[in-house]
A = this chain, B = another copy of it.
């Protein structure tokens, strides 16, 4: 690989001149510029980014940390973020945390060790305190999908309580009163907030969700099936299901249909995330939209602003809006079935 020195020699100037021209700092005789550009082209020169990083203490690198980019939801985080990074001529570093706090910290520190200060973190394991501490240390740290009061200006999030309440209200509006909730067996953040939101809607309607209609599972399609099995085995009575996410919802539908229970005629199902999958499911899945890709793009923009504008003060939190996308898995409650279905 050709170095700056090579280019400088070839163009008959010093390395600093080449460096300046490369970065468009200051002005130069156009003759010199031409020579330099010529030399760069002829030598196919590419700056060594490690040396750049070392010398300038800056790297054009966005690090994205999610539980697992193979999951469709996080895949969108990665692709949105990577695309935006690229627009700003940043490269993208990826790490999976696999929902492990230690792995997550390791990922962060290894990014930092590379001088990467632009980190987009979708964390479900670290404590608020830890995040606050990290945010103080890392200028470009942006928290995705979670709200932490003290660093609200670093948070790009949706209001899970509100969104889930919306979903529950939508179900209530359709006349459903006996509703099962398939939640995610994790004590933090999203799952508990979404559960709260659903409960809230019912409370406001003068109803409540009995504990035996709330099933916790592991958030995958297979878990949705299992949860429905459990409900039916317990002879639970319900005419609708509010699922923590689309995967669970799809699993639930599959199991219901397998048991001869029609969706949405007998039971309505609503998901959350509005993944690509929602349109593939049969019936197509009604879901709460989670604009994660836009959020991820925004998060990268924000992070870059945070690091490139040294004295920037952002007095704003970054709240995105979710809304119901109505498809075919939900319908008005069928009064005739209210008792029958349920004990099938």
Which A residues fall within an 8 A CB radius of B?
1, 46-51, 53-54, 59, 68-70, 72, 75-76, 78-80, 82-83, 86, 91-96, 109-110, 112-115, 221, 250, 257, 276-277, 279-282, 293
Contact = CB atoms under 8 A, between A and B. Distances in A.
Contacts of A86: 95-96
A113 B50 CA distance: 8
Given A95-B92, A280-B277, A113 B49 contact: yes
Contacts of A257: 282
A69 B53 CA distance: 27
Contacts of A70: 75-76, 78-80, 293
Nearest to A115: B50
A273 to B, nearest CB: 14
Given A50-B50, A54-B51, A72-B72, A94 B113 contact: no
The winner among A54, A70, A110 for most chain B CB atoms within 10 A is A70
B96 A94 contact: no
A47 B76 CA distance: 32
B96 A91 contact: no
Nearest to A109: B46
20 contacts: A46-B113, A47-B113, A48-B54, A48-B114, A49-B50, A49-B110, A69-B75, A69-B82, A70-B75, A70-B78, A72-B276, A78-B94, A83-B96, A86-B95, A86-B96, A91-B114, A93-B93, A221-B280, A257-B282, A282-B282
A93 B49 CA distance: 14
A1 B276 CA distance: 42
B281 A282 contact: yes
A257 B96 CA distance: 39
Contact of A53 (B50, B80, B94): B50
A257 to B, nearest CB: 8
Contacts of A49: 50, 110, 113-115
The winner among A1, A54, A72, A293 for most chain B CB atoms within 10 A is A54
A125 B47 CA distance: 25
A93 B110 CA distance: 13
Given A46-B112, A91-B93, A79 B68 contact: yes
Contacts of A282: 257, 281-282
Contact of A75 (B46, B75, B114): B75
Contacts of A1: 112-113
A140 to B, nearest CB: 15
Nearest to A68: B79
Given A280-B277, A282-B281, A96 B110 contact: no
Contacts of A68: 79
A281 B59 CA distance: 44
Contacts of A95: 82, 86, 91-92
A68 to B, nearest CB: 6
